[in-house]
Amino acid sequence: MSGEYTVSREDWSLHRKGEIDRERHREKVREAIKKNLADVVSEESIILSDGRKIVKVPIRSLEEYHFRFDTGKRKHIGQGQGDTKEGDVLGREQKKSTAPGKGAGEEPGMDYYEAEITIDELAQLIFEDLGLPNLQPKKKPELASEAFEFKDIRKKGISTNIDRKRTILEAIKRNARQGQPRFGKITREDLRYKTWDITYKYESNAVILAMMDTSGSMGPYEKYIARSFFFWMTRFLRTKYQNVQIVFLAHHVEAKETTEEEFFTKGASGGTRCSSVYQLALETIAKRYNPEDYNIYAFHFSDGDNLTSDNEKCLKLINELLQVCNLVGYGEIEGPYYFTSTLRVVYRKIVNPKFTSVGIKSKSDVYPALKTFFNPHPENAAK
């Protein structure tokens, strides 16, 4: 071969830089999403994802900003098939839906950065700080969650898991056996390693009563908000706790128990009598969930537009619920037809640390509501 060229083929399997930086980028995507959870949580594409595994989240903080021209104002240059005339329309920018998305791809200036993330990954981010508040030990343990515990000792293992105390003890024992009871050089057979087991931490049983107002005054917006909340709530409970039970109760003037699917899809109409659903909740508890055995959580979402004559009864029933529940949460959606004299005003009279109420004005309030209701340490909450 002449000295003018070389050709070779090498082993590149150790060249991992691209992958390492790709992982760092992914990490930054997660951080960015976490900072934006309030917006992401109520993102329509996720709530209505119909079981799709991957969702796209626009992330503007990871764009690479620099000084550049306004692509929208700029003239660009292109090449036609031979008969282009002035005034010809090459393409049309897709009108932006709620979330700015990637257009046809080729067009200039369409460079919103969207990260792809699986719903599970997203759920993990959202649920990181959430937990069931006021959880108490009950007689009948069912609620199990996985935990890792270092409880076994072995002679082989990985060096980060060396159990120093036992290793030293072994060294002393070995020296003692050889007639010199002292701590000396540690040999290989002295080494002891900790190793872990997966254990199930049994927590107390819990049941959630999800109550939703489906009356005529709950418009599509109000329903969407309630739905976003319960969407994440059920996901959260099923991800974090294995045996938590959820009971779905829908109401207008009357209340009834529904399946999960009906709860999320079925619309209703008519007036509103919230006491009906509280009554049903109390009956359900009395029949199926003895407070001695279960931690009980009740959440109710409504637009607060209740029959005025019913308000006093609601107050009374909420107080009854509070006696058997670990937490009662009330979320009021302040839609376009929002009144000021609502159920929430009535509930201001309740003084009980186990009662929490939130007002939701916009989509981005759903995440704070989740955080308020599922704050595992309510005593630390900034109120």
State the residues that interact with other proteins by CB under 8 A: 1-10, 12, 15, 17-26, 28, 62-93, 95, 106-109
- Taking the least distance from each CB to other proteins, the nearer of 109 and 291 is 109
Shortest CA distance to 277 belongs to which of 218, 206, 219, 235?
218
List, as one string, the DSSP characters of 201-220.
EEE-EEEEEEEEE-STT--H
Two structure tokens written together for 84? 């282009």
- Taking the least distance from each CB to other proteins, the nearer of 29 and 324 is 29
Q: Is the CB of residue 367 less than 8 Å from the CB of residue 126?
A: yes
Shortest CA distance to 355 belongs to which of 343, 377, 373, 333?
373
For residue 30, what are the CA distances in angstroms to 40, 117, 118? 12, 9, 11
Smallest distance from the beta carbon of 74 to other proteins, in angstroms?
6
- Taking the least distance from each CB to other proteins, the nearer of 59 and 366 is 59
Shortest CA distance to 292 belongs to which of 318, 323, 320?
323
- Taking the least distance from each CB to other proteins, the nearer of 25 and 35 is 25
Query: Tell me, what DSSP letter sits at residue 137?
Result: -
- Taking the least distance from each CB to other proteins, the nearer of 71 and 259 is 71
Asked whether the CA dihedral 311, 313, 314, 316 is positive or negative, the reply is: positive
Neighbours of 221 (CB within 10 A): 14
- Taking the least distance from each CB to other proteins, the nearer of 35 and 74 is 74
For residue 323, what are the CA distances in angstroms to 212, 291, 314, 328, 374? 21, 9, 14, 10, 19
Two structure tokens written together for 77? 């240059």
Smallest distance from the beta carbon of 54 to other proteins, in angstroms?
12
Query: Side chain identity at 271, as an amino acid letter?
Result: G
Query: Side chain identity at 32, as an amino acid letter?
Result: A
Smallest distance from the beta carbon of 300 to other proteins, in angstroms?
41
Smallest distance from the beta carbon of 59 to other proteins, in angstroms?
11
Smallest distance from the beta carbon of 66 to other proteins, in angstroms?
5
Neighbours of 122 (CB within 10 A): 23
- Taking the least distance from each CB to other proteins, the nearer of 3 and 179 is 3
Residues 6+ away with beta carbon under 8 Å from 21 = none
Smallest distance from the beta carbon of 249 to other proteins, in angstroms?
45
Smallest distance from the beta carbon of 320 to other proteins, in angstroms?
51
Residues 6+ away with beta carbon under 8 Å from 321 = 278, 281, 282, 298, 328
- Taking the least distance from each CB to other proteins, the nearer of 91 and 137 is 91
Smallest distance from the beta carbon of 60 to other proteins, in angstroms?
9
